[in-house]
Structure 1
Amino acid sequence: MTTQPRVALIGECMIELQHRADGSLHQSFGGDTLNAAVYLRRELGDIGNVDYVTALGDDSFSDAMCQQWIDEGLGLGMVQRLAGRLPGLYCIQTDAKGERKFLYWRNEAAVRDCFTTPAAEPILASLPEYDVVYFSGITLAVLGEIGRERLLQTLIETRRRGSKVVFDNNYRPRLWASVEAARAAYHAVIAQVDIALLTEDDELALFGFTDSEQVFAAYPAIEEVVLKRGADACLIRYAGERFSVPAVKVEKVVDTTAAGDSFSAAYLASRLKGGSPEQAAVAGHELASRVIQVAGALIPR
């Protein structure tokens, strides 16, 4: 990989409301690939460029999002602003153990037209020029059928040019019309993936696998498969070898939001800087352990 990698992350950022114990709401911004983009930018330091690819509205919340991304060092050249549209919104409710439940308002979100507008043409054409293109299962869901097909063609061209495709499986049943529709969408893109960052629980829920061995067996052609398992050790298959890297034990979990996103970001950053898969997993666990001790998706810098 180049010493100054260019990374594009595709997806959705939403208005985030955190429901607090006293009944109040704290407003911020979040979304799986946006969380990963921010943490990737922080972990890479001065190395390379990290651009976010999405569509927003022309409202004040979208303005604030863009300013936050600029403050975090993300590139906004691939962000569309659609007149009269709004971002999606979600609320996080956490229980006494730090486990979270999400409530979503996103049916009219601008990102649903991210790859169907005339302005999307040069964006899609330029994505294969990046060294790494990163997307998630949530990206697949929110783009819709036409957007997914255009993404697939872009991924094919990206790999043809020798760049890497990274996929985080993040499966959210509520975003799909049916489990069959989700499976079809995942199967369509998985053949174009170089690094799969998979949450084990999501794989079991989506495909009905019963254990990690079935997950690994399902992806024989993917060079690098990382299986995230929460507080348990992550499992890695790379170049025919298998590794197990223990998680960092945390005494008090406050909020597990973005635990997987931050792990993925730190993992990818380490790999881009020349780290081995094992070193990358250690970095992923370390960052995730810090993230889950703070409320919200993005911890203070």
Structure 2
Amino acid sequence: MNTPPRIALIGECMIELQHRADGSLQQSFGGDTLNAAVYLRRELGEGPVVDYVTALGDDSFSDAMCKQWAEEGLGLGMVQRLPGRLPGLYCIQTDARGERKFLYWRNEAAVRDCFTTPAAEPILAALPAYDVLYFSGITLAVLGEVGRERLLHTLIETRKRGGKVVFDNNYRPRLWASVDAARAAYHKVLAQVDIALLTEDDERALFGYADSEQVFAAYPEITEVVLKRGADECLIRCEGERFAVPARVVEKVVDTTAAGDSFSAAYLASRLKGGTPAQAALAGHRLASRVIQVPGALIPRSWSKA
């Protein structure tokens, strides 16, 4: 791009409680698209606009979130503050291998009304003018049926104006009334996606695809499909070409929280800066390998570039 791109990431940030070995809880903030927004902002450096689109309450936790996001360089102009509402909350429990278990309290979270309030109208009108819109399967789940339809319309308008749509599948069964409801919602938005950042395990859980070939075959119209496979090599199909890019070996995995989010952010940042799909995957593996060596979703800024 000749001018710095404008990117909007749509989703939810929650209060994060990290359960430690001694039984104490470390409080921070996190959420898949928020994690991606922070890492994208760090990877892109100065110039590009990275805005976060969500709804929060008017409480002290919401104040602290906005302060942290501003310190990270995220734009807050698309963040709604709903009186009397609260953000969601989740707790991460991590086993000896670094694998996670999540406990959620989010049914009344403000983000569920993100696209249904009167204040959402100017936001929805402005989104199609962005160069890139990024959202996830969790975004789809928390927005609800009305919000999803309004998001779909926004994606269509964005592409009509020449913008790109990026989707991270992040399927969480507990957020959906049924697997059929999730499949229907995913199919609608996948028809409007330019770059699909897919976790293989989530594709298997949601659609029952047996292997990577079935995943690629399911999305013939998507220009760029990236299949994330944890510690295994990621697989990419871009404009008919196929790539396999090995992951970095990490001796000790501390916490896999945000591994996929950070990979997606670094991948997208590299592509926006002109990198090839293979170069972008290497950037994604590089950042993800650092993230999984630190507890919690967001690692210190110094670690991002170490």
Report the TM-score, using the length of structure 1 for normalisation.
1.00
Q: Is the 8 A contact 1:3 1:273 kept in 2?
A: no
For 1:295 and 1:23, locate their aligned partners in 2 and report how far apart those are by CA, in whole Å: 15
For 1:2 and 1:136, locate their aligned partners in 2 and report how far apart those are by CA, in whole Å: 27
Counterpart in the other structure of 2:11: 11
Counterpart in the other structure of 1:23: 23
For 2:134 and 2:76, locate their aligned partners in 1 and report how far apart those are by CA, in whole Å: 16
Runs of at least 4 residues off by over 3 Å: none
Query: Within the alignment, does 1:92 sit opposite 2:92 as a pair?
Result: yes
Code of the aligned partner of 1:115? F
Number of residue equivalences:
301
For 1:154 and 1:230, locate their aligned partners in 2 and report how far apart those are by CA, in whole Å: 31
For 1:167 and 1:2, locate their aligned partners in 2 and report how far apart those are by CA, in whole Å: 24
Counterpart in the other structure of 1:288: 288
Code of the aligned partner of 1:15? I
For 1:268 and 1:228, locate their aligned partners in 2 and report how far apart those are by CA, in whole Å: 13
Q: Is the 8 A contact 1:234 1:247 kept in 2?
A: yes
For 1:125 and 1:2, locate their aligned partners in 2 and report how far apart those are by CA, in whole Å: 24
| Identity of matched residues, % | 87
Output aligned runs, 1:1-301, within 5 Å.
1-301=1-301
Code of the aligned partner of 1:19? H
Deviations for 1:248-272, whole angstroms, at most 9, x for unmatched residues?
0000000000000000000000000
For 2:229 and 2:33, locate their aligned partners in 1 and report how far apart those are by CA, in whole Å: 19
Counterpart in the other structure of 2:304: none
Deviations for 1:30-82, whole angstroms, at most 9, x for unmatched residues?
00000000000000011311000000000000000000000000000000000
Code of the aligned partner of 2:129? E
For 1:159 and 1:242, locate their aligned partners in 2 and report how far apart those are by CA, in whole Å: 25
For 1:64 and 1:47, locate their aligned partners in 2 and report how far apart those are by CA, in whole Å: 25
For 2:187 and 2:47, locate their aligned partners in 1 and report how far apart those are by CA, in whole Å: 33
Q: Secondary structure at the match of 2:33?
A: helix
For 1:160 and 1:235, locate their aligned partners in 2 and report how far apart those are by CA, in whole Å: 29
For 1:229 and 1:15, locate their aligned partners in 2 and report how far apart those are by CA, in whole Å: 27
Deviation at 1:3, TM superposition (A): 3.4
Provide the aligned C-alpha RMSD in A.
Answer: 0.5
For 1:288 and 1:247, locate their aligned partners in 2 and report how far apart those are by CA, in whole Å: 9
Report the TM-score, using the length of structure 2 for normalisation.
0.98
Structure 1 stretches of 5 or more lacking a match? Answer: none
Q: Secondary structure at the match of 1:237?
A: strand
Q: Secondary structure at the match of 1:255?
A: coil
Q: Secondary structure at the match of 1:37?
A: helix
For 1:2 and 1:62, locate their aligned partners in 2 and report how far apart those are by CA, in whole Å: 36
Q: Secondary structure at the match of 1:235?
A: strand
For 1:158 and 1:131, locate their aligned partners in 2 and report how far apart those are by CA, in whole Å: 8
For 2:297 and 2:2, locate their aligned partners in 1 and report how far apart those are by CA, in whole Å: 30
For 1:130 and 1:233, locate their aligned partners in 2 and report how far apart those are by CA, in whole Å: 32
Structure 2 stretches of 5 or more lacking a match? Answer: 302-306
Code of the aligned partner of 2:298? L
Deviation at 1:193, TM superposition (A): 0.2
Code of the aligned partner of 1:133? L
Q: Secondary structure at the match of 1:221?
A: coil
Deviation at 1:2, TM superposition (A): 4.0
